[in-house]
A and B are shown apart, each in its own frame.
Chain A
Amino acid sequence: MLSLQLYMFQRLSALLMAPFVIGHLAVMIYAIQGGLSAAEILGRTQGSVLWFLFYGTFVVAVSIHGAIGLRAVAFEWGGLKGAALDGFMWLVGLGLFALGARAVWAVTFAKGAGA
Chain B
Amino acid sequence: MKVAKGITSRAHPLWLAYIMHRLSGLALAIFLPLHFWVLAMAMTDPVRLDGFLHLTEEGVVKLAEFGLVFLLAIHMFGGLRLMAMEWLPWSTSQKTLAAGATAVSFCIAVLFFMRAI
Pairing of A with B: yes
For the complex, would chain B's binding face be called helix, strand, loop or mixed by DSSP majority? helix
Q: For the complex, what is the distance from the CA of A29 to the CA of B44, rounded to whole Å?
A: 26
Query: What are the residues of chain A within 8 A of B35 when measuring CB–CB?
Result: 103
The 8 A CB mask of A26-70 against B (1 = contact, 0 = none) is: 101110110111110110000000000000000000100010011
The 8 A CB mask of A73-100 against B (1 = contact, 0 = none) is: 1000000000000000000100110011
- A interface residues, how many (CB within 8 angstroms): 42
Assess the A69–B43 pair: CB atoms within 8 A: no
Docked complex: B24-53 residues within 8 A CB-CB of A: 25-26, 28-29, 32-33, 35-37, 39-44, 46, 49-50, 53
Assess the A25–B39 pair: CB atoms within 8 A: no
B105 CB to nearest A CB, Å: 12
Q: A25-B73, A70-B29 are in contact. Are A33 and B36 (CB under 8 A)?
A: no
Query: What are the residues of chain A within 8 A of B72 when measuring CB–CB?
Result: 21, 24-25
Assess the B42–A92 pair: CB atoms within 8 A: no
Assess the A38–B50 pair: CB atoms within 8 A: yes
A13 CB to nearest B CB, Å: 10
B46 CB to nearest A CB, Å: 5
- B interface residues, how many (CB within 8 angstroms): 37
Assess the B46–A103 pair: CB atoms within 8 A: no
Q: A37-B53, A106-B41, A115-B46 are in contact. Are A26 and B113 (CB under 8 A)?
A: yes
Using a CB–CB cutoff of 8 Å, the interface residues on chain B facing chain A are 22, 25-26, 28-29, 32-33, 35-37, 39-44, 46, 49-50, 53-54, 56-57, 65, 69, 72-73, 76, 79-80, 83, 86-87, 110, 113-114, 117
